Amino acid sequence: MIDTRPPLGTLPDGDRSAPELEVVPVRAYGRWIATVLALTALVGLVGSLARNDNVHWDVVGDYLFAPLVFSGLTTTLWLTAAAMALGLGLGTLIAVMRLSASPVLHAVATGFVWVFRGTPLLVQIIFWGYAAALYKYVQIGIPFTHVTFFRAETNSLLTPAVAALLALGLNEAAYASEIVRAGIQSVDPGQTEAAHSLGMRPALTLRRIVLPQAMRVIIPPMGNETINMLKMTALVSVISAHDLMSNIQDVYAQNYQVIPMLVVASTWYLALVTVLGVPQAWLERRYGRGSARGGHVSPFRRLFAGASGLFPQRNDKNDKNDTSDTIKEGGR
C-alpha cells in the first residue's frame, strides 16, 4: 500500500496559509504569590524600623561618621587584610605539607589543622590575649641550652592587636589549607606528570602548572573566607583590640544607647561586605572562564530581569509570524 498523506510538517498544494496558533505563556501563580508575600513582609519590616522611636536614628546619624568609628574601621580593615595574608600563605604551606610523601610533614600539618580547626575561634582569641599567663617571656635560642638570641616580655610583645592577628591568622590557615589542598587535588595528575617529563622540578610545577589551574576551585571559597574574616574581627573585642566593635562597645557602655550603636556597626559591616563582593565576583568571572558556571550575574541584574519577566507580555503577532515561518520552512 502506498501512503499518499503529505509528509509531516508540510501543507497540501492548495493550502499555503499557515494555521494561526495561539501561544500561551505558562502561568507561574506560585511565584507571583511568593513575590507578593516577600514584598509585603519587606515593606512591613522596613516601615516598622523606620517608625520605631527606640532605634534613635538621631544617635545613629551622630555616630555613623564619628572619628572613633573610623579609627575602629581602620583596625578592622588591616586586621582582615593581614590575617588573610597570613592565613593564605601559611595555609598553602600546610596544604603542600599534607600532600607531601614525608610522614613527618604530613603528621605535623594534620595536627595543626586538627588543633586550630577543632577549637572555637573565640577560645583561641582569648588564649592568645592571655598568653602571658602561660609564658612570661618569649625567647628564641638553642633548645636545652642557655644560648638565647632573643628575649622579650610576653605582655609587651603580644599586644591585643598582635594577639588578635595571630588568632585570626592561624585559625584561617587551618581552613585555607583545606581549600588549597582541595584545589590542588582537583587538577588532573597528568598535568604534573607531563611537567615532570619536560624536566620541571616539583616546586616549579606546583607554582607554574598546578596552582594556576587550581585557582578556579580556590578563588570562590577564599572570597567567602575573606568576607567571613571581616565579620570575625568583631570577636577580638573580647580582648579590646580597638577594632570597630570594640570602639562601639566602649561608646554604648557610656551612653547606654546599645541598639543605635549596633545599627551603626551593622551599617558599616554591610557596606564593607558589599564592597568586598565586587572584586570577588570579578575574580570568579576571571577564573571561571571556559566553564559551564563561569557566567556570573549580579543580584541586581537578576532582580530587574526577574521583575520584567514576572508578568510576561503576550505578543500574538510575533508568535503567529514565527509559527507561520516554521511551518512554511517545513513544507519546502
- DSSP output for 233-280: GGGGGGGT---HHHHHHHHHHHH--HHHHHHHHHHHHHHHHHHHHHHH
Is the alpha carbon torsion for 97, 102, 105, 108 positive or negative?
Answer: positive
Distance CA 223, CA 211 (A): 17
CA angle 196, 199, 201 (to 5 degrees): 70
CA angle 274, 89, 273 (to 5 degrees): 5
What Rg, from alpha-carbon coordinates, does the chain have?
A: 31
The reported pLDDT for the residue numbered 151 is 85
The reported pLDDT for the residue numbered 309 is 53
Do residues 181 and 95 lie in contact, with contact meaning Cβ atoms separated by under 8 Å?
yes
Do residues 168 and 233 lie in contact, with contact meaning Cβ atoms separated by under 8 Å?
yes
Which distant-in-sequence residues (6+ apart) come within 8 Å of 302 by Cβ? Answer: none
- Helical H segments across 99-159, by residue range: 103-118, 121-129, 154-157
Say how many C-beta atoms besides its own lie within 10 A of residue 243's C-beta: 27
The reported pLDDT for the residue numbered 313 is 46
**Burial of residue 88, with CB atoms counted within 10 A of its CB: 0-12 exposed, 13-18 middle, 19 or more buried:** buried
Residue 59 is placed in which grid cell? 544617635
Nearest one of 318, 262, 331 to 69, comparing CA atoms: 262
Predicted structure pTM score: 0.75
The reported pLDDT for the residue numbered 65 is 92
One digit per residue, the tens of pLDDT, for the chain of length 332 reads 555 555 555 555 555 566 677 888 888 888 899 999 999 999 999 999 888 888 888 898 899 999 999 999 999 999 999 999 999 999 999 999 998 889 999 999 999 999 999 999 999 999 999 998 888 888 888 888 888 888 888 888 888 999 999 999 999 999 999 999 998 888 888 888 888 888 888 888 888 888 888 888 888 888 889 999 999 999 999 998 889 999 999 999 998 899 999 999 999 999 999 998 888 888 777 776 665 554 555 555 656 555 555 444 444 444 444 444 443 444 44
Do residues 303 and 5 lie in contact, with contact meaning Cβ atoms separated by under 8 Å?
no
DSSP code of 314? Answer: P
The reported pLDDT for the residue numbered 22 is 81
Distance CA 237, CA 228 (A): 16
Beta strands in 28-170 (DSSP E): 137-141, 148-153
| Exposure string for 29-48, b = 16+ CB within 10 A, e = fewer | eeeeeeeeeeeeeeeeeeee
Residue 125 is placed in which grid cell? 582569641
Do residues 129 and 121 lie in contact, with contact meaning Cβ atoms separated by under 8 Å?
no
The reported pLDDT for the residue numbered 301 is 60
